[in-house]
A and B are shown apart, each in its own frame.
Chain A
């Protein structure tokens, strides 16, 4: 699938996944799970400010902030024993954090179809990842119209 519709930072990740073998894709996903930054104090100490993503089989929580300059900050957390869930959160964080709100909203809802992971990750997990993006986008929209 063409990645022209994606922001360059996310397109690069998509291309990286496509370039390696299925086994290495899992390794990459694991690396993204390890690169997900810890929550800042204002969320770590107030988990109620994060939105739950029940579509994921494992607990996943996300908050999104649109700064005055219109850029998006994404904060996500999932248990260490859920590396796949953390991995998807890590991909979205690496690919979308700091982008303008319009760019985040423009990411297609079927983003997981771009990720070359359908052979190695179950459909339910991919739906969970898509739901994470859906919630990030909805949070951004709500803040733009607030």
Chain B
């Protein structure tokens, strides 16, 4: 049984308010047996320093990725992971994490590849929960393993691959990296190559909207009106557009994918997880530099 939705008025404005919960809602439902809270952080040691009571950790680097192929888990791998974390197919999963939920949004996106029915983000993530002095613990969670069915990953709807992006050139592309990464300046820093890519710049035609512009200072998402002003106003997207978002490896762009898909109700947004580490290094892929310098 899925848990009730959060009826918070700020969330109610979004296209799919059922995809977010507030810290108040989570505090109230924390003991519900049909809920599993998943912490997924950029800093992989953060969970160990303290986490929301009962929450389980999902490590993007070692648990969501296949360790031999640059790809996500397969059906068996995901079912095994879910079983180990005590998540059933009908479990409500609430994700939270550091950095305004970068990795939490990324984990949610990967769960969405497997069509897990009820996935939600904690608005404001770990920082907001802590800022409100809500309980944290270092105790390991005590959850029984679950039975999780074998579900094939469906990449077609929300994931884009390199060749598809190449076909997509000319249609809306959003680059959510920082301005310096977008213009190509960052790789030009003397002596300190930073991103492990051979070239700096962006995919031709991409519009730059650094992911963090969708978030408030406290890590919560901006209001629906603010998000519309940004994506529909400033860079002229329409909710019916076929949109591809990307960053370095697809983590920050999961945050933007979430905002466009679930908060603004865009029909077709795909996350290109190959992102700059693939495109920027791939033979014969065209790039652009230093156009439309963003703010």
Contact = CB atoms under 8 A, between A and B. Distances in A.
B283 interface: no
Contacts of A27: 48
B27 interface: no
A146 interface: no
A30 B44 CA distance: 10
9 contacts: A29-B45, A81-B98, A81-B127, A83-B45, A83-B48, A85-B43, A119-B62, A120-B44, A124-B196
B49 A84 contact: no
Interface of B: 42-46, 48-49, 61-62, 98, 127, 191-192, 194-196
A71 to B, nearest CB: 26
Given A119-B62, A120-B61, A120-B62, A84 B196 contact: no
Contact of B45 (A84, A119, A122, A134): A84
Chain B at the A interface: mostly helix, strand, loop or mixed?
A: loop
B42 A57 contact: yes
Given A122-B61, A124-B196, A58 B43 contact: yes
A36 to B, nearest CB: 13
B251 to A, nearest CB: 10
A26 B43 CA distance: 11
Contacts of B45: 26, 29-30, 33, 83-84, 87
A122 B45 CA distance: 12
Interface in A39-91: 54-55, 57-58, 80-85, 87
A83 B49 contact: yes
Contact of B43 (A81, A123, A134): A81
Contacts of B49: 30, 80-81, 83
Contacts of A119: 62
Contact of A81 (B46, B48, B191, B194): B46
A140 B195 CA distance: 26
A54 B44 CA distance: 19
Nearest to A23: B62
Given A30-B49, A83-B43, 4 more contacts: A27-B48, A54-B192, A120-B62, A122-B44
Contacts, number: 51
Interface of A: 26-27, 29-30, 33, 54-55, 57-58, 80-85, 87, 119-124, 127, 131, 134
A72 to B, nearest CB: 21
B48 A26 contact: yes
Contact of B192 (A26, A55, A87, A123): A55
A59 B236 CA distance: 34
A121 B192 contact: no
A121 B43 contact: no
B48 A82 contact: no
B66 to A, nearest CB: 14
B60 to A, nearest CB: 8
A58 B105 CA distance: 19
Contacts of B62: 119-120
Interface hub of B43, B44, B127 (most chain A Cβ within 10 A): B43
B61 to A, nearest CB: 5
Contacts of A80: 49
Given A120-B61, A122-B61, A134 B192 contact: yes
